[in-house]
Amino acid sequence: MVMRGSKTGLETRVRQNHCPTLLGVDGDSCHHIHNAAKVFAAPFSSHLERLFSDLHADHQWASDQLTYLREICDFMSIPGSAPKRFVQHCWLSAYDVAISTQRLLPAYKVLYYVFMDKEDKGLYKDPLKQLFADYNVSEKAQTQIRSFHEDLSKKGMTQLGKDRKKRWFRRCGMKPPQLSCTSMYTVYRSAAIP
C-alpha cells in the first residue's frame, strides 16, 4: 500500500473518502504519529517500553517458562500468547504490546510469584490467592501451578535474567502503587494511541 501516492495513496483516499477537513498532513504521517507517541510517552519515563522489552526477552529463549505462562492463562481463562516484541521505531507496536500486556498481566503475576524472595512470597500469598479466586482457578489447577513454580525455582538464571525479574517487580509487583501505575499506563497507552 502506498502512503503518499497522489491518486491512490492511503492519505489521498482517507482525505477524499472519510475526512477531508481533518487530515492536513505535510510530510510522512507515520513519522508525525510516531513523534507524537514519543512525546506522549515521555512523562512516563519509558516505564512501559522497558517493561515490554523485559517481558519479551524473559520469555524469548525460555520455552518452559512460556509453556507455563500459556497453561496459567488457560487456567485463568485468559487468551494466552507469548509476550510480543516491542519495536522502538514503530508507533503501533506500543499499542499492540500494551493491549497484549494488559490482558496477560494477571497471568504474569501468577507466573512471576515464584521469583520473589521468601519474605515477599509470605507477604503476597494472600493477593495470589485472591487472583485465583477472582479468576476461578480450580484447586487442581492451583496444584499444577505450584508444580510449575517448583520447577521454575530450580532453574538457574543469568544475572541479566535476575535483573529483569527485579525490574518486573518494581514495575508490576503485587504492591498496589506499582500495579496501579503499570495498569494505568497500559490503559492510557492503549486508549490514546489508536
For the segment 11-29, what is each residue's pLDDT rounded down to a tens digit?
A: 677 777 776 665 555 556 6
The parent domain of residue 136 ranges over 45-192
Q: Tell which wins on pLDDT, 186 or 50.
A: 50
Q: Give me the pLDDT at residue 52, please.
A: 85
| CB neighbour burial string for 53-85, b if at least 16 within 10 angstroms, e if fewer | bbbbebbeebeebbebbbbbbebbebebeebbe
pLDDT for residue 137 is more than 80: yes
pTM over 0.85: no
94 and 148 in a common domain: yes
Quick one: 148 and 54 in the same domain?
yes
Enter the C-alpha cell of residue 76. Answer: 485463568
Shared domain for 84 and 24, answered yes or no, is no
150 and 73 in one domain? yes
186 confidence band (pLDDT: 50, 70, 90): low
Shared-domain flag, residues 79 and 92: yes
The pLDDT value recorded for residue 95 is 76
Q: Return all residues near 89 (Cβ < 8 A) that are at least 6 apart.
A: 34
The pLDDT assigned to 1 comes to 46
Average pLDDT for 99-107 = 89
In this structure, the answer to whether residues 147 and 123 fall within a common structural domain is yes
* Residue 145 sits in the same domain as residue 166: yes
pLDDT, position 189: 57
pLDDT score at 173? 63
Higher pLDDT among residues 110 and 26, named by residue? 110
Same domain, 60 and 134: yes
